[in-house]
Amino acid sequence: MSDVFDGDGHAELLSPHPGGREIDLPRAQAAAAELLEAFGYRLDDENIAETPRRVAAAFAELLTPVPFNPTTFPNEEGYDELVVATHIPFHSLCMHHLLPFHGVAHIGYLPGERIIGLSKLGRVVEYFSRDLQIQERLTTQVAGWLQDELEPKGVGVVLEAEHLCMSLRGVQKLGAKTVTSALRGVVRDDARTRQEFLALTTRTSHDQ
Ligand code: ZN
C-alpha cells in the first residue's frame, strides 16, 4: 500500500481502487445484458430494458472503495488499555458467487504511540469491503492495515457475517453466521489481552 504517514500523522488518501483495478462501465453493461439474455430474458420489455445499466452501476458502486483520510493522533495520555469498537455494520460481495455477505465487525487495538478516531475503524472495514471478497481475506486485510499504519501493540478483528450464497441457496441456513478473526501482536500473544478482547467481542455478540 502506498499511503504513509507524514510527520503530523496524516496519511495520504487511500487510492480508490487497490491494485490499480479499473472499471469499464459500458463493458459491464453489455455483459449484464448478455447475462440476462443467457437466462432467457428479452430486453425489449420496458421493465427490464434499463436493468443492464442499473446492474453495472450498482456493482460499480459496490466495488469502488470510498477514499478517506485515516487521521491519527498522538497518544498523549499514554492510554494503554484495549480500545474496542463492536458491531460496526458492513457489507461486501462474495468473490465466489458475486452475492452479498453482510454483518458486523468488532475491532480492538492496544495503542502504541498513536490512536485513531473510532469512526475511522468503520471506514477501514468499508474500504476493504468494496471489493470482491473472501471473509477471511477481508478480516486479515483490516488487521494488517491497522497493524501497518497505526503500529499499535496489538490488533484484533472479528467479523460475523451472513453469506447470501449460503442462506438463499445450497444448504439454505437462513441467519447462519460465519465468524472469522485475525489477531496480531499482544492481542494474539498475551493470553490475558486475548481473553479480554475475545470476551468483549463474543459476549456482546451473543447478547444480540
Ligand atoms: Zn459465496
- CATH number of the domain enclosing 159: 3.30.1130.10
Instruction: Give residue 22's pLDDT.
Output: 87
Cα of 8 vs centre of ligand 1, distance in Å, is 41
Are 132 and 48 in a shared domain?
Answer: no
Same domain, 95 and 179: yes
Give the three cell numbers for residue 178.
460465519
- The pLDDT of residue 39 is 97
pLDDT at residue number 146: 95
pLDDT tens-digit readout, 76-108: 999 999 999 999 999 999 999 999 999 999 999
How much distance in Å is there from the Cα of 97 to the middle of ligand 1? 4
CATH number at residue 30: 1.10.286.10
Structure-block grid coordinates of residue 126:
468499508
Q: Distances in Å between the alpha carbon of 63 and those of 25, 131, 132, 201?
A: 12, 5, 7, 28
How many alpha carbons fall within 13 Å on the CB side of residue 186? 15
Residue 9: the pLDDT is: 43
> Helices in 13-109 by DSSP H: which ranges?
25-38, 51-62
Asked whether residue 19 is domain-assigned, the answer is no
pTM attached to this predicted model: 0.87
pLDDT of residue 156: 97
How many domains in the chain?
2
- Give me the residues near ligand 1 (ion), CB cutoff below 5 Å: 94, 96-97, 165
* Domain around 42: 24-62
Task: Output the CA 185–ligand 1 centroid distance in Å.
Answer: 31
148 pLDDT above the threshold of 80: yes
Same domain, 42 and 90: no
Give the pLDDT of residue 69.
83
Kindly report the number of other CB atoms within 10 A of residue 86's CB atom. Answer: 16
Cα of 13 vs centre of ligand 1, distance in Å, is: 30
Instruction: Please indicate, yes or no, if residue 182 is contained in any of the structural domains.
Output: yes
